[in-house]
Amino acid sequence: MFIDIPNELETDLIDRPLPPWELDGSFLAQSSMEEYRTELAATPRFEEIAATLRHALTGEGGGYAVLRLGNLAKALSGVRFQRLVTGFAAEVAVPFSPFPRWPLWKDIGVKVDKDPGKSSGIGYNAFHMDLVNGTRPPDYTTLLCVRPDPLGGGTSILSDAHAAVMRLSEDSRALLTELAYHYGTFFDLYGVGEEYKPFPILDGSDLDEGFVRFTAKMLTRSELSPPHAEAARELADELVRGQVSFMLQPGDYLIVNQRRVLHGREALHSGQETIAVSDRRLLLQLFLRARADDGSAA
Ligand SMILES: O=C(O)CCC(=O)C(=O)O
Ligand SMILES: [Fe+2]
């Protein structure tokens, strides 16, 4: 699931600046996607890497990928690098921002006084999907590592949601299909449908048809009936049992297919308050909507 960029492609990409992108509402404009595609498709082996990436995300047993772009991150300015990563993202699906007040890419820094279990908090960020309480969560969530935790914490964790569900009893699975779960607030969001409250964790008997609409954060932050809470806890345990973990390096671009894989992050190392804000861990986040014609959209 780690994809390296061949040297010849890196060299060519460094000499091929992409123009600024344009937005159409909260989505990357079609014209920008076409411009990027034309430029990138002219580089050696780009099509092959893009196909490998799509296969890793949607092929049998797949669901996430890490593109290793560290050499490109070093060679290019921040703006040029971001355009290039946006170009790679657009090979998978359509980049968009659900947050009207944020640019396309959203910073995830480190805030020592924020709820530790939430985005940009310093604690354990439990298994979840992003925008879980929209009727149409983003098909993909992506995280670009600018700087890892200088103290060595913050390992990324991923788990195959379908495999975790299949290890549960039928009774637990039945509870997960009920409209009995809720989490968080829903305010001023674009491109992710309506608020879904309460929602079922499983959409139906066929796992391939929907999301495993889950966040382990609901176990401590939402009031659930005891049997529903128990079924959700079993799922959370199975996700941990099946987890893989790795440390994102500078320039690593993690793409997660939210229809297959749930993500989270281990706690940052203690002592974050001793680190200057500008030296702390920094990720950039971008969401993607599957194209209607590629079979992975519902
Ligand atoms: O910090 C991370 O590695 C993950 C953050 C995350 O999952 C989120 O903000 O939704
Ligand atoms: Fe997340």
Largest separation between any pair of C-alpha atoms in the chain = 59
Atom of ligand 1 nearest to the CA of 263: 7
Sequence spans of domains, the chain: 2-289
The answer, yes or no, to whether any atom of ligand 1 lies below 6 A from the CB of 265, is yes
User: From residue 201, how far is each of 80, 173, 212 by CA, in Å?
Assistant: 39, 9, 6
Q: Whose CA is nearest to atom 3 of ligand 1?
A: 265
Tell me the pLDDT tens digit for each residue of 206-215: 888 789 999 9
For residues 137 and 92, give the distance between their C-alpha atoms in angstroms, rounded to a whole number.
16
Model confidence at 224: pLDDT above 60: yes
Which residues are close to ligand 2, an ion, with C-beta < 5 A?
130
> What share of the chain in percent tops pLDDT 90?
92
Tell me the pLDDT tens digit for each residue of 225-252: 999 999 999 999 999 999 999 999 999 9
Q: Whose CA is nearest to atom 2 of ligand 1?
A: 265
State the DSSP code for 171: H
* Mean of pLDDT values over 196-200: 97
**Ligand whose nearest atom lies closest to the CA of 128:** 2
CATH architecture of 2-289: 4-Layer Sandwich (3.60)
Q: Whose CA is nearest to atom 6 of ligand 1?
A: 119
Tell me the pLDDT tens digit for each residue of 140-159: 999 999 999 999 999 999 99
Binning pLDDT at 50, 70 and 90, where does residue 297 land? very low
Model confidence at 47: pLDDT above 60: yes
**Ligand whose nearest atom lies closest to the CA of 116:** 1
For residues 192 and 59, give the distance between their C-alpha atoms in angstroms, rounded to a whole number.
24
Site to probe by mutation for ligand 1, drawn from 108, 133, 158 as the one with most ligand atoms within 8 Å of Cβ, is 108
Binning pLDDT at 50, 70 and 90, where does residue 293 land? confident
User: From residue 57, how far is each of 80, 129, 142, 171, 240 by CA, in Å?
Assistant: 25, 15, 12, 30, 21
For residues 125 and 127, give the distance between their C-alpha atoms in angstroms, rounded to a whole number.
7
Q: List Cβ neighbours of 260 (8 Å cut-off, separation of 6 or more).
A: 62, 63, 64, 160, 161, 162
Q: Can you give the pLDDT at residue 209?
A: 76
For residues 243 and 237, give the distance between their C-alpha atoms in angstroms, rounded to a whole number.
10
Tell me the pLDDT tens digit for each residue of 75-133: 999 999 999 999 999 999 999 999 988 899 999 999 999 999 999 999 999 999 999 99
Which among 43, 22, 25, 44 has a CA at the least distance from the CA of 34?
Answer: 22
Question: What is the β-pairing status of strands 94-96 and 282-289?
Answer: antiparallel
Q: Can you give the pLDDT at residue 298?
A: 41
Tell me the pLDDT tens digit for each residue of 153-190: 999 999 999 999 999 999 999 999 999 999 999 999 99
User: From residue 269, how far is each of 42, 101, 112, 153, 265 by CA, in Å?
Assistant: 43, 31, 12, 4, 12
CA 146-82-65 angle, to 5 degrees, is 65
Model confidence at 205: pLDDT above 80: no
**What separation in Å is there between the alpha carbon of 171 and the centre of ligand 2?**
28
**What separation in Å is there between the alpha carbon of 123 and the centre of ligand 2?**
13
Tell me the pLDDT tens digit for each residue of 4-16: 999 999 999 999 9
| Helices 30-41 and 46-58: angle between axes, nearest 10 degrees | 120
Q: List Cβ neighbours of 273 (8 Å cut-off, separation of 6 or more).
A: 112
Burial of 265: CB neighbours in 10 Å, binned 0-12, 13-18, 19+ = buried
- How would you label 18-35 residue by residue, b for 16+ Cβ within 10 Å and e otherwise? beebeeeebbbeeebbeb
Q: Are 75 and 14 in contact (CB under 8 A)?
A: yes
The answer, yes or no, to whether any atom of ligand 1 lies below 6 A from the CB of 119, is yes
State the DSSP code for 69: -
DSSP string for residues in 211-249: -B--BTTHHHHS---HHHHHHHHHHHHHHHHT-EEEPPP
More confident position, 195 or 208 = 195
Q: Can you give the pLDDT at residue 143?
A: 98
Q: Can you give the pLDDT at residue 83?
A: 98
**Ligand whose nearest atom lies closest to the CA of 246:** 1
Model confidence at 296: pLDDT above 80: no
Mean pLDDT score of the chain: 95
**What separation in Å is there between the alpha carbon of 170 and the centre of ligand 1?**
31
Q: Can you give the pLDDT at residue 292?
A: 83
